[in-house]
Amino acid sequence: MTNSVKDWPLWEVFVRSRRGLSHVHVGSLHAPDAEMALRNARDVYTRRQEGVSLWVVPSAQIVASEAGQRESFFDPAADKVYRHPTFYDVPEGVEHL
Amino acid sequence: MITPPSSAGLFSYVLGLADDALVSAQRLGWWISRAPQLEEDLALANIGLDQLGQARTLLTYAGEVEGAGRTEDDLAYLRDEREFRNVWLVERAQTDFGVAMARLLLFSAWQSELYAALAAGSDPTLAAIAGKAVKEVAYHLDHAAHWVVRLGDGTEESHARMQAALETEWPYVDELFGPVEGAVVDPAVLRPAVLTTVEAVLAEATLSVPQVARARGGGRHGLHTEELGYLLAEMQHLHRSHPGATW
């Protein structure tokens, strides 16, 4: 990663707000290693009871789509209405579909 | 079994525990904006605020035990140096990060055992306060231990500085286990468990247990180092200049 001892690597933080929900990306932070990243995440992102579970991932390990590819990646989905699951009824009382 | 203490003894005992937490919180507050990274600023602020919360409930209880109508604010802001009952471990300046982590390791290892014992102890109010605090302190200990291991088992430079920090703080360990008036939990019985916890961390950190003479101590009797006076001047200034000031 980096040779400078002053610059700790960057980590992406994901919080599960309660059981049954997915972990959601909430931001990033610096930490010298994975264990400290988890603790920093606890202190920075869950001090107001935001979550019951935390993930941290080295930012360098995230493979992201590129802005330049946006048109070819995402625009073709625009007119494929038949892909939306809107042609049947959702049973009552189902919250997380 | 310890016989139930008199209310004066219990007041003095609870005040000691409250002052330990209050003074430690104030010292940790110094680190806000000065820690190595913003993340550590927040971590130390959180830990300090946990301790401040413990101090508030303990001071409130001390005020009730005393029965003279003093509130947590009266006790925190309107007592002079000689009326404070905290140990020397927490009152000295800690402007070196290694020293701060060594101290937090020692203090939170001691608080862990103390609160666990109080939570199972004979005083229901202290048991309730300690029962809540024990989870907070477990995290403080974890945080300090992780740093001590990283610095001790880090580079040659960080190892030397962490060992030096430990030598600086170790003389103040003994006072934690000294006899005190009105003790609900005999301080001496906590020693083996506290030292076992600390020594396990030091072993993992490749640090050695310091062989140093103990400091004189005397905080439980109101005898303090010069540094507490400066801390109190800063902490109490606002309240004394503007009595009853609120946010």
Over residues A77-93, the pLDDT tens digits come to 888 888 877 777 778 88
Query: Considering only A44-48, B80-84, B195-199, which range has the smallest mean pLDDT?
Result: A44-48
Over residues A15-61, the pLDDT tens digits come to 999 999 999 999 999 999 999 999 999 999 998 989 999 999 999 99
Cross-chain Cβ contact B150/A32 below 8 Å: yes
Cite the beta strand spans of B50-179 per DSSP E: none
Band of pLDDT at residue B5, cut at 50, 70 and 90: low
pLDDT above 90: residue B29: yes
* Two tokens, residue B52: 């401040």
Cross-chain Cβ contact B39/A44 below 8 Å: yes
Band of pLDDT at residue A2, cut at 50, 70 and 90: very low
CATH superfamily to which A10-83 belongs: Phenylacetic acid degradation B (3.10.20.520)
pLDDT above 50: residue B88: yes
Best of B28, B31, B37 to substitute, by most chain A Cβ atoms within 10 angstroms, is B37
Spell out the domains of chain B, with CATH numbers in brackets.
Answer: 7-241 (1.20.1260.10)
Phi, psi of A55, deg, nearest 5: -120, 145
What pLDDT score was predicted for residue A97? 66
Q: Does A31 touch chain B (CB under 8 A)?
A: yes
Between CA B126 and CA B63 the distance in angstroms is 13
What pLDDT score was predicted for residue B247? 76
Q: Averaged over B210-216, what is the pLDDT?
A: 96
In Å, how far are A32, B63, B73, B79, B232 from B239, measured between CA atoms?
A: 40, 18, 9, 12, 11
Average pLDDT value for chain B: 95
Contact A29, A41 (CB under 8 A): yes
pLDDT above 50: residue B121: yes
